[in-house]
């Protein structure tokens, strides 16, 4: 759609040159699509919006004001959910999905700035767990190529359900966030490993439990960590390794991280549903001491090994109250935990802030 | 669509776990989409196929046998061209587009193999031409991180129209092709730079001419080459630099490369329309000596500076005969040129073979 809407900004998530979807000053979004022969066209942005057709066959709608952050959405054409051709696509919700990034006033921690730039590389490795080649991304901090004697701590960070290794690389803007944090002196220069947590083969039986995550644990500890330690200049010990993740990846960090403290000295759990909330994946009251044996009853032994145990969640996320309750139990048992929350629901702006916050507390 | 079609293979370009589109033994493709409320659903795979609906509301079609290679396609729902939710999306044809990669029997040069793996990194740089941050990809060969005294030659490679820097990184599988070539000893270890050739600001007036490409030329010579020479261990002279590209990028390599021989000692032109063919972008009989002054009349001065001038094209591409005719004129004028052609039309399998062939002839 060529015409600009007055007092609007094309979304940064649009494909090159697309002027719509565009964002009004009140953060309402105007969507447009040409579909003269369709009977019904809608936008599914969490809430479903019916679009109306003009005499040129262009359907449009102006949504209610949106919360700042990164929202997946679909175009629904005569009942079929598809990506909007005007948007970039991102692997999320189990498919290549459109998304709109609503800017947050004053928040520029995830914008590219004129600071030393690290690099984000893709690498292939052979997994003995899934018996195939897999891709991961590796962030190396500014100076990595030049300071060839220096070794770095490593953060391993996992995506959510219906996403893959592209999540933290693209939606999450992890490289940009770390470039900025390191330039400000707020985070240690570190390597970040962004792997694919969808490990369906091996010992994994699926689900949120130690047994369910056995395949992922094998993948992480037997394939990925050794591959990274072999191919990058890492500080190869638990105190210089962290495992964190969002939603499903937060569950993985919780179970696999806390049960592999010989590998990971720091664990970060962002917006996990394991503590409760809608679609509580464990389907029962969360009993931390049972899920990770001894976590509450032998909290001191965890405190001794854990340099940092971090939990975060969005304040409008249905998981918020459940997460706070779980954190309180951790604290009551004497388990050291650092907790933070951010405005927002279950979406990437909260996770960008989570990695920004977690990385700034790590390896200190 | 969950059900497997008998004697078929899901396309490698499908999203994780999608069983359709799938490829039959004769290279016909079965497409399926659930759309109970749509009036008409089609697949646009160059040729338009009408799909038929079953009593479950699932539309399907089996296409004619397809040529091996990478083909963009769209789903057309009641007249609206969209990406197929069952496919990965690739930036091509000016939007995020579905594509199907039809395997070529016996061709494994672009498959991941158990050989030393280089890395493909994304980097941001500030362009004084477009006055903004831009992204490029950099391939560094196996051993780059370890052999910290070694300097490498650099190939700059450009995408086609409606594509961007993702083309050679994703569709082109350039990193995998080079890993394999280097492991076989058929290509020199080299750095490859994959930039965004859509330079709409600056001096560029657009179109296929030296003047039209002035913006891209500035971007390449004033921003990108200095950025790479500063940030990577390059052999920073013309004889160790190549510029090549496909289609629009082939035109850029032709004009900018041949007119910047102080920068680029080797030039590769893959499937360019400048020589003629459908949609001949220069819209007139191709006069090489006028387009690049002296190219034919002073061919010896070009021969002295050019280490390699390479032209390739698909044998079913409408540009084929025109390209051969232009190459013959180059040869008749005494201009040294290496020419190759590959089975296929204007698509990525030809371009994968072109970079494979070009890289194996470079820097020798």
pLDDT digits (tens, 9 = 90+) for A260-294: 999 999 999 999 999 987 655 555 688 999 999 99
B243 touches A: beta carbon within 8 Å: no
pLDDT-flagged residues of chain B (< 70): 1-4, 200-206, 278-284
B279 touches A: beta carbon within 8 Å: no
Cβ separation A80–B34 shorter than 8 A: yes
**CA-to-CA distance for A141 and A157, rounded, in angstroms?**
15
**CA-to-CA distance for B194 and B175, rounded, in angstroms?**
11
Contacting B residues, span 305-364, partner chain A, CB-CB under 8 Å = none
Please tell me whether residue B258 adopts helix, strand or coil conformation: helix
Cβ separation A78–B16 shorter than 8 A: no
Task: Please list, residue by residue across A285-310, b when 16 or more beta carbons sit within 10 angstroms of its beta carbon and e when fewer do.
Answer: ebebeebbeebbeebeebeeebbbbb
pLDDT digits (tens, 9 = 90+) for A21-45: 999 999 999 999 999 999 999 999 9
What does the block give as tokens for A305?
């090994």
Residues from chain B that touch A89, judged by Cβ atoms under 8 A, are: 83, 89, 96
The strand pairing partners of A98, in sequence order, are A73, A89
> What's residue A279's pLDDT?
59
pTM exceeds 0.90, yes or no: yes
Contacting B residues, span 144-163, partner chain A, CB-CB under 8 Å = 145, 148
Please tell me whether residue B253 adopts helix, strand or coil conformation: helix
Q: How far is A36 from chain B (nearest CA, A)?
A: 8
SS3 content of chain B, % helix, strand, coil (to 5): 25, 30, 45
Q: Are B352 and B177 in contact (CB under 8 A)?
A: yes
Is the interface score ipTM higher than 0.90? yes
> What's residue B16's pLDDT?
82
**CA-to-CA distance for A358 and B49, rounded, in angstroms?**
51
pLDDT digits (tens, 9 = 90+) for A183-220: 999 999 999 999 999 986 544 456 777 778 889 999 99
The torsion angle over the Cα atoms of residues A283, A284, A286 and A291, rounded to 10 degrees, is -80
> What's residue B80's pLDDT?
97
Cβ separation A122–B198 shorter than 8 A: no
Q: Which residues does B283 contact at the CB level (< 8 Å), separation at least 6?
A: none
Cβ separation A78–B39 shorter than 8 A: yes
- N- to C-terminal Cα distance for chain A? 50
Cα–chain center distance at B201: 23
Q: Are A91 and A348 in contact (CB under 8 A)?
A: no
> What's residue A150's pLDDT?
96
Confidence bin at A130 (pLDDT 50/70/90): confident
Confidence bin at A139 (pLDDT 50/70/90): very high
Q: How would you class B80 by CB atoms within 10 Å of its CB: exposed for 0-12, middle for 13-18, buried for 19 or more?
A: buried
Q: Find the closest chain B residue to A58 by CA distance.
A: B80
> What's residue A203's pLDDT?
47
**CA-to-CA distance for B294 and B299, rounded, in angstroms?**
7
Residues from chain B that touch A78, judged by Cβ atoms under 8 A, are: 35, 37-39, 77-78
Q: Find the closest chain B residue to A86 by CA distance.
A: B95
Task: Please list, residue by residue across B239-273, b when 16 or more beta carbons sit within 10 angstroms of its beta carbon and e when fewer do.
Answer: ebbbbbbbbbbbbbbbbbbbbbbebbbbbbbbbbb
A96 touches B: beta carbon within 8 Å: yes
Integer CA distances (angstroms), B276 to A74, B273, B294, in order: 41, 5, 20
**CA-to-CA distance for B364 and B353, rounded, in angstroms?**
19
Please, how many CA atoms are within 13 Å of residue B63, restricted to the half-sphere of its CB? Answer: 24
- N- to C-terminal Cα distance for chain B? 50
Contacting A residues, span 53-82, partner chain B, CB-CB under 8 Å = 75, 77-82
Residues from chain A that touch B119, judged by Cβ atoms under 8 A, are: 121-123, 138
Cα angle value B355/B358/B359 (rounded, 5°)? 80
């Amino acid at each position: 759609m060529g015409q600009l809407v007055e007092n609007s900004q094309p979304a940064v998530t649009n494909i090159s040159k697309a002027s719509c979807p565009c964002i009004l000053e009140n953060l309402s979004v105007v969507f447009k699509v040409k579909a003269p022969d369709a009977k019904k066209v809608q936008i599914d942005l969490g809430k479903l919006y019916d679009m109306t057709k003009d005499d040129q066959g262009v359907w449009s709608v102006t949504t209610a004001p949106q919360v700042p952050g990164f929202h997946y959405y679909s175009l629904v054409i005569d009942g079929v959910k598809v990506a909007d051709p005007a948007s970039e696509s991102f692997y999320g919700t189990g498919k290549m999905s459109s998304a709109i990034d609503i800017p947050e006033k004053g928040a520029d921690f995830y914008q590219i700035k004129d600071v030393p730039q690290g690099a984000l590389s893709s690498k292939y490795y052979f997994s003995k767990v899934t018996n195939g080649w897999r891709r991961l991304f590796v962030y190396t901090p500014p100076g990595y190529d030049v300071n060839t004697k220096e070794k770095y701590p490593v953060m391993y960070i996992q995506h959510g359900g219906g996403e893959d290794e592209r999540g933290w690389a693209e939606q999450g803007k992890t490289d940009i966030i770390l470039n900025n944090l390191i330039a400000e002196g707020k985070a240690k220069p570190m390597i970040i490993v962004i792997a694919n947590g969808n490990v369906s083969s091996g010992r994994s039986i699926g689900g949120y439990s130690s047994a369910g995550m056995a395949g992922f644990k094998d993948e992480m500890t037997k394939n990925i960590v050794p591959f990274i330690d072999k191919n990058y200049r890492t500080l190869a010990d638990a105190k210089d390794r962290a495992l964190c993740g969002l939603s499903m990846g937060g569950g993985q960090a919780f179970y696999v991280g806390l049960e592999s403290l010989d590998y990971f000295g720091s664990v970060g759990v962002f917006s996990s549903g394991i503590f409760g909330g809608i679609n509580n994946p464990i389907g029962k009251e969360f009993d931390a001491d049972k899920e990770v044996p001894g976590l509450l009853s032998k909290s001191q032994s965890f405190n001794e090994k854990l340099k940092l145990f971090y939990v975060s969640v969005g304040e409008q996320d249905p998981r918020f109250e459940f997460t706070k309750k779980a954190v309180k139990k951790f604290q009551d048992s004497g388990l050291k935990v650092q907790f933070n929350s951010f405005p927002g629901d279950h979406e990437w702006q909260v996770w960008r802030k989570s990695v920004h916050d977690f990385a700034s507390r790590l390896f200190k």
